[in-house]
Structure 1
């Protein structure tokens, strides 16, 4: 039988250590049917031949931790992500508000938290732009909001308001008056609950737009790491109507500490509904927890106090006992725990909870995930492999950028600063790793994350030799973390992540061979085509192809 598609004219990087390079690949009925010479022999009169034009065909990328609905909606508000100063943010807010006089709440997403000293943003700065409507802007990490005075009035935050559990209302120096900066979900959620909910149709459109961007970056599978009950219908509609979606996804149901026992009662039914509605496209294996916050806001849970705030170890969203009980409960229902943990205290609490679940529920293939794992105590490094924990890491964060120099390093000091994003160390201890973007926190483009993991440098190439260079990894290892690593996280390593006969034809065509590309140029490689089970979801297969520099 002849193949539907044959790829030739470049290098086929299989990801398979036994046969890492082939010269061709053939696809039949959405699956790889042959590689190498056998693929070339599978051409028939109706076979589509894709000329790789000297480029490379690889397993498509996954993204093991992302927020596509949230990110898609964020594209619709005030465009503050690229602003380089407080003054620029204020100007953009003023202009957007003038252009949208009928929008009651002025919202924006993704501005940089280092634009103000110590990440402290004043409501009065926004009042100068908009004073008669509430303004709510969220930082790129989504753990902090900058709001104006009208927003503070609407939510009822005053000098006599006690900080909510799991959150901080930042105060003006020397007073109890709210400054205009809110940190963590305990403080954020009462305000966010006041915002008008976007319609179902708006959310579906936002998801479609986000999914299209991921397909254009070479991604065919996503882990949605924050799914609330209404998001189930958004995903189902997007996957089953119109053109469908260009990506598969696993939905991670979010579980917060309040009323968690009641919340989990619907998880099994929601899982069955999602998976039966879009078989082969949607799964719902995971439950998402937040163990702590983020270092830059001083809310990540640390084993020792912050250097700039000696009384504070950060904010733990769960007590260790409650997190262990909740993780054990969802594990018993057959879900995969997926725990946000950034500080070394948060990571330890997450590892302890996973260990407690395994002890209570016995041996099974649970593949628990700890996401981010920015700061890991040396004693806890071997526990990832011992407990079978997948470290889902965001490699684009492993650089010494202004977030690091202005906010993170001053808060944790040099010793702990040297233990961040220990990718190579985790691998040396035998841990499984998978990569993700955490978009819209940072870019969704895997090639940018791969470049950072390999160089440990900023896009400008600093510092020379890389930041914490002992934690650099090879290009092949980084590619695997975005493909085979994500497939393992998805419990689908027999379906995709490598290019072997019988596996899904989830493929990405790059303009040049990434393994032979100068590491500093990896971020600039063009994605020329993406295929989901043999169906092209990005690219046209025509036009001249610019190529990044090679060795």
Structure 2
């Protein structure tokens, strides 16, 4: 293997040996050693071996691989961490199991005024319609609110409906839906989109600041254990910034860096936009090197499975519905233009092809109004893109932040999504390869807690386009499969580019931060079906070890 040029001849703090060093990037060299000095990569290959001294810590890769650490370009660490504290409904496989989990948790927590739960599968009830009466049987006297895994639907009991004031004569809010009983105007117990969900969530007592900090620390440790060193928090309410600052500057600190994306909704954006620059300065001044805050989050639409994503043509199962657009096109363009003028990076949730088009139009309007600059706007999810809009991603410099774990025919896809959009539109979902071929920048994220936060699971799906059970043979929409090296780069260099930090991390070369992940085997030489099970043995943030698997026995071979 070849040499890597070093930036210093001094003794290294750490040298990694006896493994494969994949430096990353499109054609980065593959070497056998790496040295770290003062938190940065100081040498590669033979030069790294020469940097060992009496004070150097030597890490034996034991035949495994060292790679650039992963990023996560779209996640919800604070919200997700808090979601772990309620009734454990995430792993429930049926309505009956969910109800029993709620009953058991409520019995064990008689002091809880509200019963909450997070992350259950929307397809466990027919058409995603959940009845309040089912929960009433478990908890009739206290309010219950549970959120589906996509966070765009809530299931509530009758007491929660009563406290929120949702009755037969309550109109649907703009941008939301109070699902009604068949043949009646009475609320069923299913609430869709934030305009309908947030009036209920707003009644739930807010966890204490310390509880939120602890939840974030728990989440951050999970990310570190999966090889992640940077996260885009894609929905930051004002109080979340204080949670991040406390976690980053007190106690043990955090094992990850983060960029905070301030949420801006259509109702209050003009009032809030004037405070964003000061809030950015406060966050970045409090934890320099750990926290940035150059992003503003928008929701252009909802999600296809609940019929709330904005489509250019009607839903197949509802010929009069195009979904829900959270913003008018003109107002979204005005808001994106305003935050762009302040130097923020827009990060726009858009799943339907109508939502994607409105997001692209808003980004184009901002560039036209404010003039050229390196703005790197982000459209997250981009589940459905009209063919005419595909080249616009590259033309406008848009980063597509994709959730590769979604690109499989699981029950969410087969039971809820495909029946709503039909086979023609269904065949152009999550066009990862097509976006790359069109010259677009892509970055990967998990949208945790919506789906699993472990990058290797997403990488396996991007490469195979299969369910964990290996279905279908040859992959779902196999023309959109990508190779392992490209998928790894989307979770590292792609995220670094999204973070405006491609000169700091994302590839391994002298002078870059030593943000590293040690895997049990070389992922490029690992069978795609085994990538999801490839163990993470260690993670380093600027040369500081943030995760150690504690594995001392020989690692079992993971290969072809």
TM-score band by shorter chain is over 0.9
Partner of residue 522, structure 2: 513
Kindly indicate whether residue 49 of structure 2 is the aligned counterpart of residue 40 of structure 1. yes
The aligned residue for residue 425 of structure 1 is 434
Deviations 1:440-464 (A, max 9, x none): 0000000000000000000000001
Cα distance in 2, alignment partners of residues 91 and 195 from structure 1: 21
Partner of 1:329: 338
Match of residue 482, structure 2, among 468, 473, 489? 473
Shift of 1:20: 2.4
1:17 Cα shift?
3.9
Match of 1:293 in 2: 302
- Tell me what 2:272 maps to: 263
Query: Distance between the aligned counterparts of 2:333 and 2:450, measured in 1?
Result: 28
1:380 matched to 2:411? The reply is: no
Gap change, CA 1:78 and 1:545, over 3 Å in 2: farther
Instruction: Give me the CA root mean square deviation.
Output: 0.8
Whether the aligned pair in 2 keeps the contact of 1:521 and 1:548 (CA below 8 Å) is: no
Q: What are the superposed Cα offsets for residues 411-430 of structure 1, whole Å, 9 maximum, x if unpaired? A: 00000000100000000000
CA–CA distance in structure 2, aligned partners of residues 231 and 246 of structure 1: 18
Q: Do residues 246 (structure 1) and 238 (structure 2) align?
A: no
- What is the match of residue 549 of structure 1? 558
Q: Counterpart of 1:477 in 2: which secondary structure?
A: helix
Tell whether the 8 Å contact from 2:25 to 2:493 is kept in structure 1 after alignment.
Answer: no
Equivalent residue for 2:124, pick from 115, 130, 133 = 115
Residue by residue over 1:481-524, the C-alpha shift from the partner in whole angstroms, topping out at 9 and shown as x without a partner, is 00000000000000000000000000000000000000000000
Q: Is the 8 A contact 1:522 1:548 kept in 2?
A: no
- Decide whether the 8 Å contact of 1:526 with 1:547 is kept in 2: no
- The aligned residue for residue 496 of structure 2 is 487
In the TM superposition, 1:7-26 aligns within 5 A as 7-26=16-35
Conservation of the 8 A alpha-carbon contact between 1:524 and 1:548 = no
Match for residue 66 of structure 2? Answer: 57
Superposed counterparts of 1:360-371, under 5 Å: 360-371=369-380
Selected match of 2:170 from 148, 154, 161: 161
Does structure 1 retain, via aligned residues, the 8 Å contact 2:220–2:256? yes
Question: What secondary structure, in the 3-state scheme, does the structure 1 residue paired with 2:391 have?
Answer: helix
Equivalenced residues, count: 551
Deviation at 1:259, TM superposition (A): 2.0
TM alignment of 1:137-536, pairs within 5 A: 137-536=146-545
Pairwise CA distance, 1:547: 3.7
Contact 2:25 2:489 in 1 (8 A): no
1:411 partner SS: helix
- d(CA) in 1 for partners of 2:32 and 2:26? 16
Q: Distance in 2 between matches of 1:57 and 1:547?
A: 17
Aligned-partner SS, 1:286: strand
Q: Is the 1:30–1:534 contact (alpha carbons within 8 Å) kept by the matching residues of 2?
A: yes
Moved more, 12-21 or 457-466: 12-21
Deviations 1:374-410 (A, max 9, x none): 0000011100000000000000000000000000000
Structure 1: runs of 5+ lacking an equivalent: none
1:118-161: CA deviation from partner (whole Å, max 9, x where unpaired): 00000000001000000000000000000000000000000000
CA-CA distance at 1:546 after TM superposition: 3.2
In structure 2, what is the Cα distance between the partners aligned to 1:540 and 1:128? Answer: 43
Shift of 1:549: 2.7
CA contact (8 A) 2:465 2:475 kept: yes
CA distance in 2, matches of 1:361, 1:395: 33
SS in structure 1 of the partner of residue 100 of structure 2: helix
* Partner deviation per Cα, 1:339-375 (whole Å, 9 max, x = no partner): 0000000000000000000000000000000000000
Structure 2 distance, partners of 1:9, 1:169, is 59
1:31 matched to 2:40? The reply is yes
Contact 1:35/1:500 (<8 A) preserved: yes
Q: Distance in 2 between matches of 1:237 and 1:545?
A: 39
1:545 positional shift: 4.4
**Is the CA contact (8 Å cut-off) linking 2:347 and 2:380 kept in structure 1?**
yes
Q: Deviations over 1:252-292 (max 9, x none)?
A: 00000002111111100000000000000000010000000
Taking the aligned partners of 2:402 and 2:268, their CA distance within structure 1 comes to 29
Point out 4+ residue stretches in structure 1 off by more than 2 angstroms.
Answer: 16-20, 545-549
SS in 1 for 2:130: coil
Q: Partner of 1:268: helix, strand, or coil?
A: helix
User: Would you say the 8 A contact 1:12–1:22 is kept in 2?
Assistant: yes
How far off is 1:18 after superposition? 4.5
Structure-2-length-normalised TM-score: 0.98
- Give the Å deviation of 1:550: 1.1
